[in-house]
Structure 1
Amino acid sequence: MKPSARTIRRQALLALCVLGVLGAAACASAPPQPPAVPGAPPVARALAPGVYMLPGTGGSADEANLGRIGNAGFIVGETGVVAIDTGTSYAHGRAILAAIRAVTDKPVKLALVTHTRPEFLFGGKAFQDAGIPVRMHSRTARLMAARCENCLKQLRQVVGEAPLAGTAMYKPDQQFDEPHAVEGIGRSVRVLYFGHASGPGDIAVFDEASGTLFAGGLLDAGRVPDIQDGDLAAWKKALAALRGLRVEQVVPGHGSASPAVLIDTVEGYLVALERKMRGLVASGTSLLEVPDAGELPAYEHWDQYDLIHRRNASIAFLRFEREMLFK
């Protein structure tokens, strides 16, 4: 069978990356580790002493991957553990806890939810039932309450009822508005908040000893970032703030653990998207033309390009068009 034009372009882009012809923004896509096996119990991958990642599968949620497409992780301190994100479902939350217990018998003191996406928050009830408080930003809690009943209904339609047994909406045990240090685990871990950036209450978690950043919705690796809840200008300011930290490695919301250059890679996409969409607005392009006119070939090999990038293009176009009209 003759390969499609899209396949040929992707192969060409990968070849250019290998030869060093394209820049880092276009080439940071091939994962250094294999993704999680769909449906398999999560297994902790050590990234640094006391720092672990539980990889998601990537892609879109479906019956095969049980919706477990996003990453989770945990940090082990002298006296306890903080979990970062709770998984897609009640069963996934329990599986994450089992993966933590396979590594350490220290108590899990806290679960942090980084942002409002089903694959990061719907395991929260499993943590609460185990006596572990779930903490999230107050704006994340409000967004979850406003729309996640519908998110859960949609998730049941694509994943199925059985994998989501016991999964339910819940309220966080703890809410916050400001950046702060995690207490009670005997390790210096900071919760970072830069205002409404990739989402209204999106946070990152930084382990100072190892320089590991759990980036939540701020960074994805080899996957198109979703701008529908984002403020592009503020998002770029947040990324600039991350550069001021001693980041050695990043656990993104989706994709493989990556070096700190991932910050530049994601910003490169956001800048390219804005430049392209502002150009289309200025040239009088119609919204109907945007999905095709707004292609960014340097990024088409990224996960979810066909779905998320096309949606990003339309969202950004409408925002910039409105901005021009109301100047």
Structure 2
Amino acid sequence: MFEAFVAICILASAGAEPGQSCRTALLPGHAADSPAGCEATLPEKPPAWLVDGGAPYCAARPRSRLVFTEVAPGLFVHSGAIAEPDADNAGDVSNIAFVIGGRGIAVIDSGGSRQVGEQVYLAIRERSELPISHLVVTHMHPDHVFGAEVFREAGAEIVGQQNLPRALADRAGSYMTSFGRLIGAQAFLGSRIVAPERTVHDKESLDLGGRVLALQAWPTAHTATDLTVLDQGTNVLIAGDLLFDSHAPALDGSLKGWRSVLADLMRIRADRVVPGHGGPILPWPEGAEPLARYLGVLDADTRAALQAGLPLSAAARTIAKSEAGHWRLFDLYNARNATVAYTELEWE
């Protein structure tokens, strides 16, 4: 098979060597059995999002650099690095899944850069040429959303929780700046935030052809935009960042809300679960027990600090410290979680 590509570059700066700030980007939607078939579909002008690039061209489809594991029949999961986003991982720090049905394919989350999204697309095409009908975005965080445009170009409908469009619109500028700085301009080339075309207010389903995905929107918990996917074909729950494993949890919503939502989530009759980080697949509901414990300790320690009259600066250094040995990247996330918890609970 042949795909369309384009060289994209950072606008040249004085003294820069040719090619040192460029990368080859994939342009989905032009796949064909021959170069001529691919070339016949190429646009006359390069895509509008290009910063600085050449004319699109066609070449043989390469293999993906990402490893996906078939954790259940037709359900594939890529484990993102348990690390901070940087130039080496290009924002590939969260789990990504796709489900192959009889008529189409749904992708769940898209990675932290367009570059990651392109590699997900290639991994899918190694396994199926069925249409990529849907991209489900489990929440607003940049490591889950910046690859989305690749799938829109491939023809997928982007689906998210009802609060997601506003949340992304409010944060697009800051996410572009902060995440682009973390992973570097070259790795971030071509990455943009795109809004979902379809939103879920409560429960909906996607029929992929003999394979139904049950979507459920949740009240504010990890964030105000959380959405889960239950693959009814394999009874596997894809929880997004409502579930962390190994990677320290990140609280960006409501501690009380997350504890409540997690309790409800654990009552879902699934056999196994794919977390947003870690795993890649865990028994259910046992797989949620470490997170439930951590959130309980975070709650209890925060209340104790408030009761003792500790100021936030002192409380953030002690809250949930007993959990440090259970989580990777703990020191990067726990103080932030303590700050969010303290701010929420002090006004009860």
Shorter chain as normaliser: what TM range?
0.7 to 0.9
CA shift for structure 1 position 322: 2.4
Counterpart of 1:235? 258
Aligned 8 A contact 1:149 1:169 in 2: no
1:264, distance to aligned residue in structure 2 (A): 2.0
**Aligned match of 1:263 in 285, 288, 309?**
288
Instruction: Give 1:167-246 correspondences, 5 Å limit.
Output: 167-228=191-252, 230-246=253-269
CA distance in 2: counterparts of 1:48 and 1:167, whole angstroms: 31
**How many angstroms apart in 1 are the aligned matches of 2:310 and 2:295?**
20
* Distance in 2 separating the partners of 1:135 and 1:298: 35
Larger Rg: 2
Task: Give the whole-Å Cα distance in 2 for the aligned partners of 1:293 and 1:263.
Answer: 24
Structure with the bigger percentage of helix: 1
With the length of structure 1 as denominator, give the TM-score of the two structures. Answer: 0.82
Which residue does the alignment assign to 1:291?
Answer: 316
CA deviation after TM superposition for structure 1 residue 295, in Å: 4.1
Letter in 2 for 1:215: A
CA distance in 1, matches of 2:74, 2:309: 54
For residue 174 of structure 2, the aligned residue among 137, 140, 150 is 150
Quick one: distance in 1 between partners of 2:198 and 2:344?
34
Q: Give secondary structure in 2 for the equivalent of 1:292.
A: coil
Normalised by the size of structure 2, how large is the TM-score?
A: 0.78
- The answer to whether the 8 Å contact 2:75/2:98 transfers is yes
SS at match of 1:251: strand
Hey, what's the Cα distance between the residues in 1 that align with 2:312 and 2:260? Answer: 28
* Distance in structure 2 (CA, Å) of the matches to 1:78 and 1:57: 31
Q: 8 Å contact 2:113–2:188 — kept in the other structure?
A: yes
After superposition, the CA RMSD in angstroms is: 1.6
Which residues in structure 2 correspond to 1:60-139 (within 5 Å)? Answer: 60-139=84-163
Instruction: Give 1:241-256 correspondences, 5 Å limit.
Output: 241-256=264-279
- Structure 1 residue 316, shift from structure 2 partner: 1.1
Query: Deviation at 1:74?
Result: 0.7
Q: CA deviation at 1:233?
A: 2.3
2: distance between equivalents of 1:140 and 1:278?
31
The secondary structure found in structure 2 opposite 1:110 is: strand
Task: Give the equivalent residue in structure 2 for 1:311.
Answer: 336
More contact order relative to length (CA 8 Å, sep ≥ 6):
1
CA offsets 1:81-100 (integer angstroms, 9 cap, x no match): 11101111112111111111
Amino acid at match of 2:315: V
Distance 1:155 1:105 in 2: 32
**2:79 counterpart of 1:55:** yes
Note if contact 2:145-2:193 (Cα within 8 Å) is conserved in structure 1.
no
Question: What stretches of structure 1 move > 4 A for 4+ residues in a row?
Answer: none
The whole-number CA distance in structure 2 between the counterparts of 1:102 and 1:249 is: 25
Q: Which runs of 5+ in 2 are unaligned?
A: 1-63
Structure 2 CA distance for partners of 1:270 and 1:197, relative to 1, 3 Å? same
Q: Could you tell me how far apart the structure 1 residues matched to 2:124 and 2:149 are? A: 17
2:66·2:78 contact (CA, 8 Å) conserved in 1?
yes
1:172 to partner: Cα distance: 1.8
Identity %: 28
Structure 2 counterpart of 1:137, which letter? Q
